[in-house]
A and B are shown apart, each in its own frame.
Chain A
């Protein structure tokens, strides 16, 4: 198995070197496509071997993965529906990463955003749906934004490690959610499944016309593109990247690092909070413990696989959405346990992280990975 992997990585990596002129002109872009692509291919080969150990045909595996994720129009809709929240929660990790911060608390921001959005809707019982929806979006972004800003503030003013604090804030968010849902905000009719009251069918945001995918996908795409423009095409984004590259240098040239940290954390949390709002307004119709479905944690994986690039988050989220969409088919047709999808995600993660070492070093590949 390992030789196969090495071969595929090697083959993929050697290809551009054969055309040095082309490589020089588009070197970076090619690397960004080729290296993750090769890592993905390597991961699939290893996973195929893993599945073969269980006596299943790896070719069947690849076929069903393709079929369940992208093989039919239904499969595509399935994939895109699962990708939608991941784009937003991935931004919660990808944006602070520009500043050199590792935020892994998107799940908490999602829950708080969902709670805030639900509260906004319940506070406006007789407003027209558009007003309610706008209020929910604002509340979701603000709720989630403030939540991650808390982690940013702790880092800026108290020197608390933002990775740890944002992770711990997830559990606090979950406790707050459970407390409110089982206590003050509980719908007395939700006997065996404590939930808030419903936001009302009229206030749901529905699906994109012509497809069975909710509007969350569009929100995600817009947020990802906007983040990309912000980071790579504005002075604010430039300042953020400077601070991320060398925080002392940034201070010396007079950048307000504290403000950058807080703003970026707010935007990051806002994205995850928006994901929470969408889960309420497009899927659940109310807040309950079902919202803690792990989108925030999968988002971390997406962000790292996308190498923290907001634009790359989109295809990676679709890829992981596809993996989870096809996971069901793998269980049903091949009798693989659910955990096999996690195994695949883990293998991809390791390959992509390991392939990081290859950037700018094509030609020194042999024996690596």
Chain B
């Protein structure tokens, strides 16, 4: 974290050097002293969304010749624009990773237009043709990992009742809930997932209440989609329930209760990006992938996971790794009995229809509004 003391003169020279650098416009390859800026919306040790990105940043720090600067708890306002500019002007950053979903529009787009020679990579998969070419937005099909978690959960539950603590009923979250439930039903066709929406990304008190309430209703395996799963994981473990993690590996928080989890694999993706830039390759502006592309991964199975569950989960995982395995295969009906994907229709992972998901599949107890 500590980059040592930089002399004052060096600081001032940095600014001048940057101006020269941009004037000659050398964005082709990374120079030996490339600075990369990471911006997080929460704490980088939140055992969640931000920590996943910080692990990616940590992987970059191990590469020679790179300097990584980080700033946490930057709100999705013009504060992030100023943080980006501060990293550019005061630290000489030439590659920026504003990692929160809400940083993209209008903030990062504005900065990418203002600094056309620098490179911006955003997490969220939001890039469209209208956006600047030096901006990119990547995302992972983490529902694949949730599907695997679901399989493990389906084998591990005794009551057949699973619980899901979710932030908001938006497509990305609904897709995770649905994939988790469909996975669980592969293992146990009678399993149900009770979902509770807390209303926002970081609501520790409500997350704890939701966890307790789910367990009170007989749920014995829980997972979540909030920014910091720590609250859910620790509370559930304390109450004797088992958990599937999210964002990063939370097994250190609950070694006995942790079954598996859906994790981001930014520590594989970010070095890949940097190597692509260094080699003069262009990173596709819209970059997405799943388990096969090493953008997401599944946590190592906990000791409580049965042999049968491991085998089934590994089997499905290998299908994701080798084929275009579809989670959302018709017929699928929502939990109100309406057919949402007709029989015979396979919605592959790249299907744009899945990005608009506004339903909960059969087996989920809960409502989107």
Contact = CB atoms under 8 A, between A and B. Distances in A.
Interface string B42-85: 01000000000000000000000000011111111111001101
12 contacts: A57-B5, A74-B85, A74-B89, A178-B199, A183-B369, A191-B356, A214-B78, A283-B77, A291-B77, A328-B82, A328-B86, A333-B3
A241 B172 CA distance: 54
A192 B79 contact: no
A192 B85 contact: no
A290 B102 contact: yes
Nearest to B73: A338
A211 interface: no
Given A293-B77, A337-B72, 18 more contacts: A74-B89, A78-B86, A191-B356, A214-B78, A284-B77, A289-B200, A290-B102, A293-B76, A293-B79, A294-B75, A331-B72, A332-B69, A332-B71, A332-B87, A335-B1, A335-B3, A338-B43, A338-B73
Contacts of A332: 3, 69-71, 87, 91
Contacts of A335: 1-3
A60 interface: yes
B90 A331 contact: no
A333 B73 CA distance: 16
B76 A290 contact: yes
What are the 4 closest A-B residue pairs judged by CB atoms, nearest first? A335-B1, A338-B73, A290-B76, A332-B69
B170 interface: yes
Contact of B86 (A74, A285, A288): A74
Contacts, number: 93
A332 B72 CA distance: 9
B32 interface: no
Nearest to A342: B73
A60 to B, nearest CB: 7
A290 B74 contact: no
Interface string B1-31: 1110110100100010000000000000000
Contacts of A193: 101-102, 170
B171 interface: yes
Interface string A276-299: 000100011100111101100000
A194 interface: yes
Categorize the interface residue count of chain B: 35 or more
Contacts of B76: 290, 293
B61 to A, nearest CB: 12
B168 interface: yes
B124 interface: yes
Nearest to B39: A328
B300 interface: no
Contacts of A279: 77
A48 interface: no
B106 interface: yes
B175 to A, nearest CB: 10
Nearest to B93: A332
Contacts of A283: 77-78, 106
Contacts of A338: 43, 71-73
A333 B6 contact: yes
A81 B101 CA distance: 22
A333 B2 CA distance: 7
Nearest to B358: A191
A338 B171 CA distance: 31
A60 B6 CA distance: 10
B355 interface: yes
Interface in A53-85: 57, 60, 63, 67-68, 72, 74-75, 78, 81-82
A92 interface: no
A347 interface: no
Contact of B170 (A82, A192, A331): A192
A115 interface: no
Interface of B: 1-3, 5-6, 8, 11, 15, 43, 69-79, 82-83, 85-87, 89-91, 101-102, 106, 124, 168, 170-172, 199-200, 355-356, 369
A193 B6 CA distance: 39
B101 A334 contact: no
Given A60-B5, A333-B6, A192 B72 contact: no
Nearest to A175: B199
Contacts of A293: 75-77, 79
Interface of A: 57, 60, 63, 67-68, 72, 74-75, 78, 81-82, 178, 182-183, 191-194, 214, 279, 283-285, 288-291, 293-294, 324-325, 328-329, 331-335, 337-339
A331 B106 contact: no
Most buried by B among A75, A82, A178, A333: A333
Given A68-B90, A333-B6, A78 B85 contact: yes
Contact of B82 (A63, A78, A288, A333): A78
A140 to B, nearest CB: 17
Contacts of B87: 328, 332
A362 B254 CA distance: 58
Contacts of A194: 168, 170
A339 B43 CA distance: 9
B15 A72 contact: yes
A198 B308 CA distance: 52
Nearest to A324: B79
A279 B79 CA distance: 12
Nearest to B199: A178
A294 B15 CA distance: 32
B171 A191 contact: yes
A328 B77 contact: no
Contact of B71 (A178, A192, A331): A331
Residue of A192, A294, A334 with highest tally of chain B CB at under 10 A: A192
B77 A191 contact: no
Given A63-B8, A192-B101, A328 B74 contact: yes
A77 to B, nearest CB: 8
A72 B90 contact: yes
A137 B168 CA distance: 32
A67 B11 CA distance: 10
B184 to A, nearest CB: 24
Nearest to A291: B77
Contacts of A82: 79, 82
A279 B89 CA distance: 24
Nearest to A183: B369
Given A72-B15, A191-B171, A328 B83 contact: yes
B14 to A, nearest CB: 11
A191 B77 CA distance: 19
Contact of B90 (A67, A284, A285): A67
A78 B78 CA distance: 10
Nearest to A325: B82
